[in-house]
Chain A
């Protein structure tokens, strides 16, 4: 994929540092809060969106000092692509209106940051050392975790799951790398297993791609490896369209955002793409999803950035949570489009774990103030980083994926 940085010149030239990008909507939140994790962590203006705008502007006008390279890498590779800046800029600032005209279809501030990363790849400045293994692993194993492709289905255990490549299924469950290999992580998650339980309980004719499933390419795109992303996207689109399935369900916000928001730049996916929470919300409406076991728990919900700000899915997860008997949902003041990021995305977890954990612990601190027992989310990568943050800060809060709570509610008595 070719990167055309020039297309951003008008936008970055017009950034007047008005800074709604750096904070949430305090009217909605009832409190003043900055939303840019790296800005608040490093505190230097270069790390906030207006600073990054000037970095791009300096680059486009050729005002680059050789010693600047490391700073460029640091400023852009600490960005989680959480999208907090773009929501506020598009909504409240004049220059943000210009984003709607870029490429004739509208772009976002995180597109600028990701394009800059891709430009740094083209210049040979990137990838940064910490991402090289991840890139290599995707090339060799089709996943970023340096795990063998043959082990992708280990999460299934003894469960019999249809191979969508060989058998007719209506729904393809695109498991994603984090949920597939999560069982090996320090904080094993049950997202894939819970999703499988739910699909079975619903009587859905579903399957997966088994060991043939490939990374969705989201990590590649977010760290500027556009060629790798394009290769994966093309392969996945071709595969999806050849299966004859009606619906693709993902339980990962990153995969969902990639398929739904990024793939249209590469090619058309014929099946309908749904996040598991959207799929479950539809089942609720059809009264097909029966949850009769009480899960007595006071929880809050963390909006995954790739599901919320990137794909605008805010209501479905909440409706599913609220439908679980016994679950009481308490909102973070920083929620929905004003949500604080978990800190893991766009390669930050791999390269800047200190920042990722600091960001996650800040979210856990916010949850502690809500007097809840658990933080729920709808993304295995958020799940993992929030769980690590909770453990690191000595919090007693539990972390759950929504699918786990749904699975508990439908489990046989």
Chain B
């Protein structure tokens, strides 16, 4: 607990209202852990504040700056990688109820959002409007704001890319408020375009609130697709599925595609109807390609793309599992279609057994075999079963360079009550991280995971030092989410 805690909590209550701040033990316990608990040890914050606007955020930040209290911004709280765990105590700034969608500019195809807006919320808001946001493949209960900020994976046209933010409003650690992009220029036509000089928006992306609190952002919208087909193709071996996936991305006839292995399939497919594992074992193929073809403007182009997809599928020698999988996923084809095209209700499919552990990174598609065999080996050496516990997910990412993929290496059977497993999991993760960093199979981490970034920063040389200096300059008292990203 921070010194003068009675004084601090009384000021916080003045700022946000009595019922919106707490220093009670049990309220603090609510925020002490997430799925990454074996690596980011559970830690209670000292205070909780529920904020509703930028003015309140600035007041809280100024108080924290004055008293050297860490501040951990939290957009929705569906966190899996320890980025919002208050490892050094401090204030959890809960922004769930800052959830306005406003200033829609149809002409510019942009809209402003606040941190608490979820994927489902923005998808519902734009459904049938002619415009759509980039639909994340994260659960629809996640903050779309945080997803855009940390760059996610999307179920829409891969050519939309992974950067969807035009400009931001940020409360800096000293309480100053800045705006990136053209929004910061007095007399600007709006918060939509770039301004001269470096793009400051990018500076605040990919970091979990370590440079300040992003309080609103202007995001890109895209034309709503009129034609869409969801497909799921099954394979007994990895190679033909990988080849087919490469063809899809090279020729760009699909909007997106995910390669999912049997272990992962078993965990999230039967979530709605809970088939026994033995049944799933018999039913599920070794590899599945799940994706979609979408088009907003041209039925002719859509049909041509479908034709190319069908031709590629025939050549690949796969089996069409669309009907079976869509039934299993959501009980009906339309349900599965919604899950795959919009925000998904199957929020924690990968948590059929409870928690899961994932290491996600970008890497060349050509390295899939090395990644698979070595991470399976490390998993087995640490007592995990490659047929039951270990999984590899591969998703080509945009901008597709013929190589870039999102990889997710997973242990899906994490039991938070098993102490022995926790020790094995920690060792497995350390060995995997070292192997991935040493073997030249990855470009970089998907997200700034605490345990993975620590190892990366130590290998980053002058770049790492530059990052540290940047952090010191922006946040001299190190109050913004300390212990995350920059150490």
Q: Is B317 engaged at the interface, CB distance under 8 Å to the other chain?
A: no
Query: Which of A7-47 touch B at CB < 8 Å?
Result: 9-10, 13-14, 16-20, 22-23, 25-27, 29-32, 42-46
Query: Contact: B29 with A63, CB < 8 Å?
Result: yes
Minimal beta-carbon separation of B116 from chain A (angstroms): 11
Q: Which chain A residues lie closer than 8 Å to B48 at the CB level?
A: 44-45
Q: How far is the CA of A25 from the CA of B272 in the complex (A)?
A: 13
Q: Is A71 engaged at the interface, CB distance under 8 Å to the other chain?
A: yes
Q: Is B363 engaged at the interface, CB distance under 8 Å to the other chain?
A: no
Closest to A29 in B: B124
Q: Is A94 engaged at the interface, CB distance under 8 Å to the other chain?
A: yes
Query: Contact: A23 with B20, CB < 8 Å?
Result: no
**Which one of B62-70, B286-294, B352-360 is at the interface?**
B352-360
**Which one of B173-181, B343-351, B441-449 is at the interface?**
B343-351
Q: Which chain A residues lie closer than 8 Å to B124 at the CB level?
A: 26, 29-32
Q: Which chain B residues lie closer than 8 Å to A10 at the CB level?
A: 417
Q: Is A352 engaged at the interface, CB distance under 8 Å to the other chain?
A: no
Q: How far is the CA of A17 from the CA of B33 in the complex (A)?
A: 10
Q: Which chain B residues lie closer than 8 Å to A19 at the CB level?
A: 76-78, 139, 141, 347
Q: How far is the CA of A91 from the CA of B274 in the complex (A)?
A: 9
Q: Which chain B residues lie closer than 8 Å to A68 at the CB level?
A: 24-26
**Which one of A95-103, A154-162, A375-383, A401-409 is at the interface?**
A95-103
Q: Which chain B residues lie closer than 8 Å to A23 at the CB level?
A: 118, 120, 141
Q: Is A168 engaged at the interface, CB distance under 8 Å to the other chain?
A: no
Query: Contact: A14 with B26, CB < 8 Å?
Result: no
Q: Is A314 engaged at the interface, CB distance under 8 Å to the other chain?
A: no
Query: Which of A50-74 touch B at CB < 8 Å?
Result: 50-51, 54-55, 57-58, 63-65, 67-68, 71-72
Q: Which chain B residues lie closer than 8 Å to A46 at the CB level?
A: 22, 26-27, 30
Number of A-B contacts (CB under 8 A): 148
Knowing A18-B351, A92-B345, the reply to whether A26 touches B26 (Cβ < 8 A) is no
Query: Contact: B24 with A98, CB < 8 Å?
Result: no
Minimal beta-carbon separation of A371 from chain B (angstroms): 20
Query: Contact: A93 with B351, CB < 8 Å?
Result: yes
Q: How far is the CA of A328 from the CA of B118 in the complex (A)?
A: 35
Query: Contact: B271 with A32, CB < 8 Å?
Result: no
Query: Contact: B351 with A95, CB < 8 Å?
Result: yes
Query: Contact: A30 with B127, CB < 8 Å?
Result: yes
Knowing A64-B26, A72-B26, A94-B353, the reply to whether A44 touches B50 (Cβ < 8 A) is yes
Minimal beta-carbon separation of A58 from chain B (angstroms): 5
Q: Indicate the member of A20, A57, A94 with the most B CB atoms within 10 Å.
A: A94
User: Which 3 residue pairs spanning A and B have beta carbons closest together?
Assistant: A94-B351, A14-B354, A65-B25
Contact surface of B with A, Cβ cutoff 8 Å:
19-20, 22, 24-27, 29-32, 34-35, 48, 50, 76-80, 94, 96-97, 118, 120-121, 123-125, 127, 139-141, 267, 271-272, 274, 335, 338, 342-343, 345-355, 415-417
Contact surface of A with B, Cβ cutoff 8 Å:
9-10, 13-14, 16-20, 22-23, 25-27, 29-32, 42-46, 50-51, 54-55, 57-58, 63-65, 67-68, 71-72, 88, 91-95, 97-98, 100
Question: Can you name 18 A-B pairs with beta carbons within 8 Å?
Answer: A17-B34, A17-B78, A18-B348, A19-B76, A20-B141, A20-B345, A32-B121, A45-B27, A45-B94, A50-B77, A55-B30, A57-B29, A72-B26, A92-B345, A93-B348, A94-B271, A95-B354, A98-B354
